[in-house]
Amino acid sequence: MNIVELLIPELILLAGSVACAIVGVSTRRSMRDALPAVAIAALGAAIAWTLCCGDTLAEAAPMPALSKWVTVVGCGLGMLLVLLNAGTADRDYEAAVAAGRTKFDPLRTTRGEFYVFMLLSIGGLLLAAKARDLIWLFLALELTSLPTYVMVAMSRREQRAQEASMKYFFLGAMSAAMFLYGFALLYGATGTVELAAMHEVFTAQQGDVGMIALVGMLLAILGIAFKLAAVPMHLYAADVYEGAASSVTAFLGFVPKAAGAIAVMGLLWTMGMHADGWLLPPMVEVMLWVMAVLTMTLGNVAALLQSSAKRMLGWSSVAHSGYILIGVIAGPDHGGWAAVLVYLLGYGLSNTGAFAALAALRRGGNEVESLEDLSGLAERHRGAAWTLAISSGSLLGFPPLLGFWGKLLLFIAGVSSGHIVLVVIAGLNSAISAAYYLKLVALPLMGASTARSREVEPLSVQWPRIAGLIAAAAVILLPIGLPAIAACAAAVLVN
Amino acid sequence: MSLLSMLSSSVLTAAPVPVADVHQAFDMGWAGLILWLPLLSLIACGCCAMMRCTSKLPAWITVGSLAGSFVTAMFLYLNYEPPGDVVNIVRWIDLSWVGGGFEANISFYIDSLSLLWILFVTGLGTLIAFYASEYMETDLGSGYCRFFAGVSVFLFAMSALVLADNLVLLYLGWEGVGFASYWLIGYYYTKPEAVAAAKKAFIVNRIGDLGLALAVYLCWTSFGTVQYDELVTVIESGDYARMTDDWSVAAIPWLLMLAAFGKSAQLPLYVWLPDAMEGPTPVSALIHAATMVTAGIYLLARMYPVFLLDGDHTALHVVAWVGGLTALLAATIGMAQYDIKRIMAYSTVSQLGYMFMGLGVLTTYGAAYHVFTHAFFKAALFLTCGAVMHGFAGQLDLRKLSGLRHMKGWKITSYAMLIGCLCLAGFPFTSGYFSKDAILAEAFVTHGPGFQWLGFMALFTAGLTAYYTFRVWFRVCAGPVSYEAGDDHHGDDHGHDDGHFHPHAPRFAMNSVMAIIAIGALVAAVPYFMDSGVKGGWIADMVNDSTASEGIPAVRAAADHAADHAHGSLFGYDPHVAMYWVSGGVGFIGIAIAAWLHLFRREDAVSLRRALLSRSATAWLPRAMERKWYVDEIYHALIRAPLWVGSHVLHGIDRILVDMVLVDGTAKLPRLLGRWVQPLTNGTVHASATAMAGGVALLVIVVLLILHLGVFA
């Protein structure tokens, strides 16, 4: 099969981003306002091509059908995220232009570029699922991350955002160096960069993997843990997530995390997949286990201590990486990876919904952040309040919302692969997380409105609110088709 | 030659439990109406409440839909062919896609046992709802809607419990009836006693529910299924033995027993039922006498194969003894009470004890028959008590009521109560006589630890039953006319204005229902004579096609110990023959004593009590009986007080250790830690980078340490 044909979804996204770049400098306001539509059209076209004529990578990738799932889910959620970000970049500048206070200057606008970066980052996620060798994987991961650094800076004209962007970039570069070093060690140990060939080498070693390869694998995973925001590479998360605009934080919480999870699964496949089933080297398994426990515990405890809803959601997204790692450890044999895929879908939707509710509101020209702003929200902003409540409920794993089923599948996978202690810890963590997620459910719906919350106003742009409502509706309605979704997720992992 | 003795001597071919080959019926979705009609009625009652309906509309809606349920159940019965059908209504829980293949649907398991139950549940439900339409009329308005909504919830849950084809749906119904019971006991929620009784019922039932939940879980882990047909197939094939530990299979009967003893008010969990009489009387009649409290018997009969797995029948022996002791204890308490509704409540506990004894002495037939007859005669007794309570402004003290049958408008009440009393006392040729004898005789026949003594004890209890039953009737309905009004003033039409109290007699709805149910109580003797294939009449026929078939004496006799079976004897005669005379005689003695002390020479009862109290050697007896053997006080001392102390100690620990040390301390810890590592995480890039690199190193060290120590299995 021609490799170019495989990359058509990514090429569509590339074409879409070029179109966005061109449209973005148009002097006509109506053209510029059509930017989200262009981006959504490109994502839709990628999904359509994948569903209609997209074939799967027949050889040399760990999970051939995975790319199809990732394309559909990634682009689908991407459409929602674009909708959420309609009006994020250059909002004040456009308003000034519209009011005639300033003239439109193509050199000054960043609006088109913002969508370019979004599409490129999603393209990176798609590529990560198709990676057949380490170099491809490295490029895909960096393609996912690099645009997000810029997006953080662009998202709002505040020093905090610039600072967050710089921090994100430098630490990201460090993590890239780390996993690239790991990749180099893996290459040194196996003599190949192709994942399939590495798998053969490790299989031939009959589970007796050498130290260099083990260290390489550990460093690679730890480096990629930056994308997942897993301990100990989580330290940037709270600052960056808070510094970026809420709509961009939603993006950061899903796209790099999904790419990281998929990359880790692809790497582990080379070492853990044996003829007689899934077995990781003890060292790798123990490290993932410790990482999972630390990540979920630290994320939840830190989220518990926050008084800002945005920081709370930021820390909680760290905790979710811990849950995801349970499925990663459980492996493909016990439905763990299928559970990871379903969980990523549920988490992505709920996360988008929760941040959309924050992004759809303003208080005195600033973002709505503190819990006090949200108290009694339902009295005046019914849609946003319910979106936040439903999404938080789903993030908590409240039945029958989608987040619950994702978590259930993860826990089932964890138990059936024998990691009962881990699942018990995760269960305790879920209970901890209830303490702060329920605040986000109860405060908007049942809290008394405060002086601060009465000052909250809706955003002038409608789209973020609509994106939130779509996400909330999906979180409620998708469980109806859960058996089909779970079966589909299980099917893409079958070689 | 009596029918009963024919029953025991006849030899039938031993057949496997006729459950494994039920067919799946796909064209019987209409059976779901039994479940959906009460649900619709619930919604309609809710709508009535929202529209502030002040008419009797909720009652008519409820009666109509319950009648619809009954007609549907009747159709099911007419269509029924052994060994039964599984009717899928709604696919509910299907986890086949995660492996393990757990499945529990909203499906009906239509066999003779569930049909028997659903027929009298829906039938009596309809009648009692009709009765309540008049009884509750003083509460027209939101209370009326709330009441009938509760009745609808109950019928919905009870139908689910009885018809369920798997233990999970049964559990749903089990919790549902518990909730409905809580709802309706606490109906008069402004009365502290009612609220306390509702809470007590709920909490005591939770203890039993825990047993059921664990039993369902163990069934799934041991047998790999919770569906009855598959369960029986697995049990008969014996495959489970390879899959599971012994203890879990052996534990199931004990857990089921706990559940049944909670729901059906047996020792040691019976204490909630007498207090439950705080609810409106139709509720006591329907839920706490006729239907819900028999759910425990249904559960054990349904799961009988699990009890028979153990060749020694140890669990069944315990069931028999607990039942027998409960019957005796409750009867002695009932003798010394003055509140007629409470007497009926203790007699319910006592009769339920007989039913469990029946299950324990291997006569599911006797137990099921007694459930059936008891449902009618006890409903009749409660409804007549309700009529008295309704008419006399809440008066229930039997010392303050007399001669009802001579009063105008109280004839039907008095004679319906008489019929109920005759059945309960086991007067010859009434329905209660046949059903109780089936159990009593079997106690003498079946081999078990001390079952002979159990039989004598049950006989003695039967005498007590006859006594306290007729104590009520002779006091309240016979004798000279005299009465005092109660202190229940919630209706304004009681005629207090002119200074005199006029009891108001029941009208059409209550009278007709009391008459129908009393006649039903008499007619309930007929199924015994209806010979339809299996000896023992229609009821035996109904039990024979179900999981409980092993408990039919004839089948069992043929199955394992035909020779042993006749060994038991009573005064040297065949117990089945002897029982007719003995139990009839015991009943007569009880009625005679009641007639002496409470009809002809009522002053003797007072002097007897005084004589007993005046001697220190005997004074404890009436006192203890009137104070219900101090069981509530004992529970208070043994369970509530230690829990109270424990909870306060824990509360103290919580305040000091958890709140002050752990929570506040933990909350301070991150800040302390933060101050300590502040140079690392002050938000600058190089600090974060250092922390990350350090974290990586630390993590690797931890991993190596864990591997080195080998704690990670």
Q: What is the 3-state secondary structure (H, E, C) of chain A?
A: CCHHHHCHHHHHHHHHHHHHHHHHCCCCHHHHHCHHHHHHHHHHHHHHHHHHCCCCCCCCCCCCCHHHHHHHHHHHHHHHHHHHHCCCCCHHHHHHHHCCCCCCCCCCCCHHHHHHHHHHHHHHHHHHHHCCEHHHHHHHHHHHHHHHHHHHHHHCCCHHHHHHHHHHHHHHHHHHHHHHHHHHHHHHHHCCCEHHHHHHHHHHCCCCCCHHHHHHHHHHHHHHHHHHCCCCCCCCHHHHHHHCCHHHHHHHHHHHHHHHHHHHHHHHHHHHEECCEECCCHHHHHHHHHHHHHHHHHHHHHHHCCCEHHHHHHHHHHHHHHHHHHHHHHCCCCCHHHHHHHHHHHHHHHHHHHHHHHHCEEECCEECCEHHHHCCHHHCCHHHHHHHHHHHHHHHCCCCCHHHHHHHHHHHHHHHCCCHHHHHHHHHHHHHHHHHHHHHHHHHHHCCCCHHHHCEEECCCCHHHHHHHHHHHHHHHHHHHHHHHHHHHHHHCCC
Burial B529-548 (b: 16+ CB within 10 A, else e): eeeeebbbbbbbbbbbbbbb
> What is the rounded CA–CA span in Å between residue B551 and residue B433?
20
Helix (H) or strand (E) holding B229: helix B228-237
Give B668→chain A minimum CA distance, Å: 11
Alpha-carbon dihedral angle through residues A192, A196, A200, A202, given to the nearest 10 degrees = 70
**Cis status of the peptide bond prior to B268, with omega within 30 of 0:** yes
A256 token code pair: 């790099």
B683 with A412: Cβ contact below 8 A: no
Give me the amino acid identity at A336. Answer: G
Name the residue among B99, B683, B692 with its Cβ closest to that of A232. Answer: B692
Tell me the β-bridge partners of B106: B90
Give me the amino acid identity at B333. Answer: I
Helix (H) or strand (E) holding B163: helix B142-163
B25 token code pair: 């019926």
- pLDDT of res. B8: 36
A45 token code pair: 């076209």
Neighbours of B420 (CB within 10 A): 31
> What is the rounded CA–CA span in Å between residue B160 and residue B177?
10
> What is the rounded CA–CA span in Å between residue B428 and residue B425?
9
Region class of B498: left (phi > 0), else alpha (psi between -120 and 50), else beta: alpha
Name the residue among A232, A285, A412 with its Cβ closest to that of B699. Answer: A232
> What is the rounded CA–CA span in Å between residue B179 and residue B151?
11
Percentage of the residues of chain A whose pLDDT score is greater than 70 = 97
* A495 domain residue, yes or no: no
Nearest residue of A to residue B687, measured between CA atoms: A235
Q: Return the half-sphere exposure (C-beta side, CA atoms, 13 A cut-off) of residue A130.
A: 23
Number of domains composing chain A? 1
Residue A361: name the closest of A375, A342, A345, A344 by CA: A375
- pLDDT of res. A13: 95
Mean of pLDDT values over A209-229: 93
Percentage of the residues of chain B whose pLDDT score is greater than 90 = 29
Per residue in A291-348, pLDDT (tens digit) is 999 999 888 888 887 888 998 999 999 999 999 999 999 988 888 999 999 999 999 9
> What is the rounded CA–CA span in Å between residue A319 and residue B648?
36
pTM as predicted:
0.66
B 672-711 → A contacts, CB under 8 A: 681, 683, 685, 688-689, 691-696, 698-700, 702-704, 706-707
B689 with A171: Cβ contact below 8 A: yes
> What is the rounded CA–CA span in Å between residue B18 and residue B240?
19
Name the residue among B667, B683, B699 with its Cβ closest to that of A291. Answer: B699
Q: Return the half-sphere exposure (C-beta side, CA atoms, 13 A cut-off) of residue A23.
A: 21
Give B660→chain A minimum CA distance, Å: 17
Give me the amino acid identity at B494. Answer: H
> What is the rounded CA–CA span in Å between residue A411 and residue B311?
40
DSSP, res B96: G
CB-CB contact of B154 with B184 (8 Å):
yes
- pLDDT of res. B247: 79
Per-10-residue mean pLDDT for chain B, 713 residues long? 35 47 70 90 90 88 94 88 79 68 82 89 93 88 90 94 91 93 90 90 90 91 84 77 69 92 89 88 88 92 86 87 93 89 92 92 86 92 90 85 86 91 89 87 83 89 92 88 74 50 83 91 81 61 73 50 48 70 87 87 83 82 81 83 88 82 71 58 75 88 85 59
CB-CB contact of B547 with B232 (8 Å):
yes
Return all residues near B154 (Cβ < 8 A) that are at least 6 apart: B125, B176, B177, B180, B181, B184, B286, B287, B292
CB-CB contact of A119 with A20 (8 Å):
yes
Q: For B506-540, give the DSSP string.
A: --HHHHHHHHHHHHHHHHTTGGGT--BSBTTHHHH
A301 with B670: Cβ contact below 8 A: yes
Burial A142-164 (b: 16+ CB within 10 A, else e): ebbbbbbbbbbbbbbeeeebebb
Tell me the β-bridge partners of A194: A133
A 157-216 → B contacts, CB under 8 A: 166-167, 170-171, 174-175, 178
Mean of pLDDT values over A149-157: 90
* A360 domain residue, yes or no: yes
Question: B103, B699, B705, B707: best mutation site toward chain A, by most A Cβ within 10 Å?
Answer: B699
> What is the rounded CA–CA span in Å between residue B168 and residue B94?
12
Residue B383: name the closest of B416, B350, B421 by CA: B416
Residue A29: domain span: 3-490
A483 with B97: Cβ contact below 8 A: yes
* Chain B environment of A294 (Cβ under 8 Å): 699
Give the total residue count for chain B.
Answer: 713
Per residue in A381-423, pLDDT (tens digit) is 899 999 999 999 999 999 889 999 999 999 999 998 989 999 9
Domain positions in chain B: 649-709
DSSP, res B402: E
Per residue in B497-549, pLDDT (tens digit) is 455 677 888 888 899 999 999 999 988 888 777 765 554 567 777 777 777 77
Neighbours of A400 (CB within 10 A): 11
Question: A171, A231, A235: best mutation site toward chain B, by most B Cβ within 10 Å?
Answer: A235
> What is the rounded CA–CA span in Å between residue B639 and residue B630?
14
CB-CB contact of B541 with B450 (8 Å):
no
| Phi, psi of A76, rounded to the nearest 5 degrees | -65, -50
> What is the rounded CA–CA span in Å between residue A301 and residue A106?
46
Name the residue among A167, A283, A294 with its Cβ closest to that of B688. Answer: A167
What angle is formed at CA A77 by the lines to CA A396 and CA A168, rounded to 5 degrees? Answer: 80
Give me the sign of the Cα torsion angle B616, B622, B625, B630: negative
What angle is formed at CA B533 by the lines to CA B528 and CA B537, rounded to 5 degrees? Answer: 5
B234 token code pair: 């697995």
pLDDT band at A132 (very low <50, low <70, confident <90, very high): confident
- pLDDT of res. B552: 55
CB-CB contact of A471 with A352 (8 Å):
yes
Question: A290, A318, A425: best mutation site toward chain B, by most B Cβ within 10 Å?
Answer: A290
Helix (H) or strand (E) holding B91: strand B85-94
> What is the rounded CA–CA span in Å between residue A236 and residue A315?
11
* A108 domain residue, yes or no: yes
